[in-house]
Amino acid sequence: MEFTLEELAAMSGGKIDGDPSLTITGAASLAEANRSEVTFYGNPRYLAAFRTTGAGAAFVPEGFTEQIVPGQIRVANPSKAFEQVVLRFAPAPIEFPAEIHPTAVIAEDVSLGEKVAIGAHVVIEPRASIGDGTRIGAGCYIGHETTIGAGCTISPNVTIRERIKIGDRVILHGGIVIGTDGFGFEEIAGIRKKVPQIGIVQIDNDVEIGANTTVDRARFGRTWIQEGVKIDNLVQIAHNVVIGKHTVICAQCGIAGSVRIGARVILAGQVGVAGHLEIDDDTRIGAQCGVAKSLRGGGGWWGYPAVPIAQAKEQMVWVRRLGKLFQRVKALEEKAR
């Protein structure tokens, strides 16, 4: 597939600087693009990389006047325009026929909606329910009495244990485990005894969860991931956690039991949250933060333990000045002798 610069401009609503007939056969990053490919530049931080790119064409901001590559298309949002073009060059999405693979093991009383696709070696236990148009990849396990809504995509090798409730249009990537026991024990006569974990996990509509993430069932009640939440790879969500609508949790975060996270919260990578805390709506928590107390009032937090971001920056400045402070104190001590 190929497009002229003029066709790319028409797709994106942009204005051309260069030869409209220039032919483009692919799309790539600034560092990897060659003369037959289009790239994009939208952040001044990458101007040096843009000046050394091998691309033949690029989407640039509307006010950008420097001519760096042979063909430039000025648009309001270069990243979005590039995304649209990448989708045009991308291969057609894989189609999953609405059929059940002969190696799948499905209990007799399972309820299957219309146009459900079930891959090889899937196991679906009794009294489970699968909604219309849902796709279940090879090697998945769906436990007893679990319900999965319509239009969901369950990637290969996902485990969804018993009595789990999953809404519509949920995307679960490979290796996820939903509904294992919460990590609950009590010490009796010096021996740790298991506390029964009899609750469920509820995942609402339009949630997406990344590969190898784990979500524990509640000790009682539910672990609840609300509508529109997006969770990255390798995240641990413990028993009875509640995650509010449209919250984003990045890779390698760990959330301990009974934490309540509000709506539209952002947890950057490797954040750790101690148990039984509350995080208010619209809170932003920086990478590798340690959350040891409830966070109130939203806003940005950073550090270990996490503090408001302005305070964290002030503390960082203090630490960097300690060397000079030590030298001054030492000089004063020597002078006083």
Contact criterion met (CB below 8 Å) for 137 and 101: no
Of the candidates 67, 57, 63, the one whose C-alpha atom is nearest the C-alpha of residue 24 is 57
- In terms of C-beta distances under 8 Å and separation of at least 24 residues, what long-range contacts does 173-177 make, across chains too? 173/208, 173/209, 173/210, 173/211, 173/213, 173/233, 174/137, 174/211, 174/212, 175/211, 175/212, 176/209, 176/210, 176/211, 176/212, 176/213, 176/214, 176/215, 177/214, 177/215
Give the active site residue among 121, 239, 246, 276. Answer: 239
Q: For residue 147, what are the β-bridge partners?
A: 129, 165
CA distance 214 to 234: 7
Is 144 in the active site?
no
Residues taking part in catalysis: 239
